[in-house]
Chain A
Amino acid sequence: MTVHRWPLDGRRILVVEDNFGIARTLAMLFQRYGAVILGPAGTVEDAMALVEAEAHIDGAVLDINVRDRLIYPVARALLLRGVRTVLVTGYDRTFIDPEFADIPCVLKPWNAEHLMKLLSDGSD
């Protein structure tokens, strides 16, 4: 394992999570890894607006259900742009639309180091 002090150094990471405490914690932890946080966004609309406004996004952590709505449109837009995306959910993996079967999905409660690795090199 490579020990890197700033594994996400300067990376621009979008955080979408409707619970403020969780969003803020994610942002805090990624900042510790050196990331620049985009958002956090708590609704599908806010997330979509950020995706459209930001020309440069290196990675994204998306909660699948935000305020009882699915984040899929945002995921689709990010994947089209080739942005490394990680889905986060409290539901079982089987509930995820097969369209997103190939992208990493992390069950809550997540492990921040695990998320960081998925965002930095796409592997566990």
Chain B
Amino acid sequence: MTNLSKSPSHTVAEAFQMVSSSTPGVGEDSDATSQQIERSQLRSLTRLNEAGARLWQARSLQQGLREMLAATIELLGADMGNVQIFDAERQVLRIVTQRGFDERFLAFFREVSAETGSACGQALHTAQAVVIEDVEQEPSFEPSLEAARDAGFRAVVSIPLCGFHGQPLGVLSAHFRHSHRPTRFELEQLALYGRLAASFVERWQSDEQALRENEERLRLALDTGGLSTWDWDIAAGTSVWNAQHYALLGYRPEQTPASYDAWAARVHPDDYANVVQQCRMAARERREFALAHRILRTDSSLRWCAVRGRFVYGADGSPQRMIAVANDITERRRHEEAQRMLVAELQHRTRNLLTVVQSIALQTMEATATRDEFEDGFLGRLRSLSRVQGLLSNEGYAPITVADLLNMEFEAFCSEADFLKIELSGPDITLKGDVAQALALGIHELATNALKHGALAGACEHGRLAVSWRVEGVGSGRNLVLEWREDGLSLQLHGVPRKARGYGRMLIEEDLPYSLSAKTAFELKGDALRCRIGIPFGYAASDAASS
């Protein structure tokens, strides 16, 4: 731990020799000395064993090393000492625990470069013990002499802490107020202490590494899941947010530091009181909280987030800290809302459709005299209604055009020969759903009539049917006009007034004007039938898909 301008190589060599060559009891003066050595060796091993047992219970690196330092000082009968840990990345030795040094000394030597030729640096690099018996007599110690005098020590013993693969981990040093020369067996025991301390440091660091990797994995998982985190130290009033949390609130970390107030400023004003109340209740009842609220970002965009979290309580039972995770559920809510609307719309459509069926049944009943006539009319209308429902259910993917409605109706009951009599012409015009339904029923009545009594009837050899449609007028006065012309009709066929036709004409002359604000004209003159239906364009169709 002390700086030396030159490496104290001779001292290192000496110490190394002392450590490596000595065998306790062998070559010593007498049996009495040998017994004394054995006793102190036993004592020292017992002490080492105690320190080892406590090491396993250490709850911090510092606590464990403090234990080892105390045992070392006791073993050597030293006056002070310290343990430094080697930071390989920054190439420095840092004191993690010490005994007997004052603040002034520590302020200066808390962190020293491992490159310099200090006793501790030397011990680290050579992986050998360094003994300086008297700093006053050691020329190479001269640059650090002043500091040693200040701290009040004359002798130093430093041993390296090496990992399983020989990698340097740190240095354990003991200091003496008077010049001192440790015995061989003391140094030998010290080597054992050093090994135990080293294995403790190594295990601790690998645990820390594993912990860091765990944290990194956790962070990665949170990031991947799009989860934002908030760690709020309530007592200290400080907050830590991850990058997602800044993003969720619409902040930039460099502009708005994490804080309760910065969060509160972004919670939707209508939700704030409820969020705070729910969190307080969870804190009081000591349970997790889970809630959803809106966030109003600085750019006025609205987000929904779901939050889960809990509090950590102090000794007095008050919440000291809050940890919460949140995720952005805006898309999910949007989807749920769309789903809800879709179900409601489907229900509406179904209920309306049933009511339409109910009214068609009652109206057909009114207009027909016999059961056969009723069945014929009602089932035909029901089938037409069901055909247009088929188109409507696909409306989102395939817009319904005027041509679609006509083709659908003709294909339902016309033969190939019938098609030769039909001519369709007009642009692609997309119809709105309810308009398509009403118009389909109108076309159904016209087509049924044509098939039974008009141009498509089997007996009508020269019958021709032409349907044309176009947009007339300009601006808000535009109309979708559909013209239905039948020529070459047989007078015998249409000349017979039938009650069933009443429904069809009523549909065209009353229903379409009522339901679609349409203007309709129906005319049967000579061998020709003319029907003209004009529907306000803005109501009937949309420009977007028309071409």
Instruction: Kindly state whether residue B358 has any CB partner on chain A within 8 Å.
Output: yes
Contact A90 to B352, CB < 8 A, known contacts A24-B363, A25-B358, A29-B362: yes
B128 → chain A closest CB, angstroms: 85
Chain A CB within 8 A of B403 CB: no
A103 lies within 8 A of chain B by Cβ: no
The answer to whether the Cβ of A34 comes within 8 Å of any Cβ in the partner chain is no
- Residues 57-112 (chain A) with a chain B CB within 8 angstroms: 65, 67, 89-92, 95, 107-110
Contact (Cβ within 8 A) A20 B510 = yes
How many chain A residues touch the partner (CB < 8 A)? 23
- The smallest C-beta distance from B99 to any residue of chain A, in angstroms, reads 75
User: How far apart are the CA atoms of A9 and B303 in the complex, in Å?
Assistant: 58
Q: Give the complex CA separation of A100 and B360 in angstroms.
A: 30
Q: With the chains together, A110 CA to B359 CA distance in Å?
A: 11
B347 interfacial contact with A, CB 8 Å: yes
A65 nearest in chain B by CB position? B348
Once the chains bind, are B362 and A109 in contact (CB under 8 Å)? no
Judge if B337 is at the interface, Cβ distance under 8 Å: no
Dominant secondary structure at the B interface = helix
- For residue B351, CB closer than 8 A to chain A, the reply is yes
Q: Determine if B514 is an interface residue (Cβ-Cβ < 8 Å).
A: yes
Contact with A22, one of B344, B349, B356 (Cβ below 8 angstroms) = B356
Q: Is the CB of B356 within 8 A of A21?
A: yes
- Contact residues of A: prevailing secondary structure: mixed
Question: Min CB distance, A54 to chain B, in Å?
Answer: 19
Partner of B515, one of A18, A25, A28: A18
Q: Are B515 and A20 in touch, CB under 8 angstroms?
A: yes
Return chain B residues, CB-CB under 8 Å to A25: 358-359, 362-363
Contacts of B356 in A (CB 8 A): 19, 21-22
- The yes or no answer to B366 lying at the interface (CB within 8 A) is yes
Kindly report which residue of chain B lies nearest to residue A41, judged by CB atoms.
B514
Q: Contact: B351 with A90, CB < 8 Å? A: yes
Q: Does A7 contact B (CB under 8 A)?
A: no
Q: A42-B515, A91-B347 are in contact. Are A21 and B352 (CB under 8 A)?
A: no
9 nearest A-B residue pairs (beta carbon): A90-B351, A25-B359, A20-B511, A20-B514, A108-B351, A90-B348, A21-B359, A109-B355, A109-B354
In the assembled complex, 30 residue pairs joining A and B whose CB atoms fall closer than 8 Å, in A order, are: A18-B515, A19-B352, A19-B356, A20-B510, A21-B356, A21-B359, A21-B363, A21-B507, A21-B511, A22-B355, A22-B356, A22-B359, A24-B359, A24-B363, A25-B363, A28-B363, A28-B366, A29-B362, A67-B539, A90-B347, A90-B348, A90-B351, A90-B352, A91-B344, A107-B351, A108-B351, A108-B355, A109-B351, A109-B354, A109-B358
